A and B are shown apart, each in its own frame.
Chain A
Amino acid sequence: NAGVTQTPKFRILKIGQSMTLQCAQDMNHNYMYWYRQDPGMGLKLIYYSVGAGITDKGEVPNGYNVSRSTTEDFPLRLELAAPSQTSVYFCASLMSGSTEAFFGQGTRLTVV
């Protein structure tokens, strides 16, 4: 049982480049989330999804896009990377009905 898997673990991007952060879960969870964590700070919600085909914005969605075509996958797309997007990105999932949230190991992104 792999849980929540994020790829890549590390990435350096140049300003203006684009990339997709991958997130997959094998627990059949309907809720999935993307967070970013800046140094010394808590986690801020970027986007979330309550099921396949349904996504919504969190606190800090600007500069990002998501899709949820399957229950398992929830990729996060960065278009036109900016230095302000340098952060650690975490994906999480849980099953609706008050259950434990599971997190991936994170993707450390640097934009130079």
Chain B
Amino acid sequence: KQEVTQIPAALSVPEGENLVLNCSFTDSAIYNLQWFRQDPGKGLTSLLLIQSSQREQTSGRLNASLDKSSGRSTLYIAASQPGDSATYLCAVQSDYKLSFGAGTTVTVRA
């Protein structure tokens, strides 16, 4: 059974600081890994999808890396802004299933 862990559970940083969010998974036989953002009381917004054959994926200030052999992914958010405050979830697709971590709740202080 795939287990997905996200550390830390919560993070508070001053505006402008870079954010580093971690995701680890137990079974390296994955198809892809996807990072989502969730605002309070809202649905999930897809941020980045990394295929199992890729090492990283970038979109604007966001960069996600994937090390499949060690079962880890890291989401970097450069020059954080108060609007980046949200919960960030990683999801791993393996077999037919999409398994989620519990998320990291980020607060960016102005």
Contact = CB atoms under 8 A, between A and B. Distances in A.
A42 B43 CA distance: 12
A94 B52 CA distance: 16
Q: Which of A35, A43, A102 has the most CB of B within 10 A?
A: A43
Interface string B7-28: 0000000000000000000000
Chain B interface mostly: strand
Given A48-B96, A98-B31, A98-B51, A41 B46 contact: no
Interface residue tally of chain B, by bracket? 20 to 34
A90 B43 contact: yes
B101 interface: yes
Contacts of B97: 45, 48, 58
Contact of A31 (B36, B96, B99, B103): B96
Interface string B66-110: 000000000000000000000001010100111111110000000
Contacts of A58: 97
Contacts of B42: 105-106
B65 to A, nearest CB: 18
Contact of A101 (B96, B98, B101): B98
B32 interface: yes
Contacts of A35: 100
Contact of A102 (B46, B96, B99, B102): B46
B46 to A, nearest CB: 6
Contacts of B52: 98
A48 B97 CA distance: 8
Interface in A65-112: 90, 92, 94, 96-106
Nearest to A102: B46
B62 interface: no
27 contacts: A31-B96, A33-B98, A42-B4, A42-B89, A42-B102, A42-B103, A43-B89, A43-B100, A45-B97, A45-B99, A48-B96, A50-B96, A56-B96, A94-B98, A96-B96, A98-B31, A98-B32, A98-B93, A99-B32, A99-B49, A100-B34, A101-B91, A101-B98, A103-B36, A105-B42, A106-B42, A106-B43
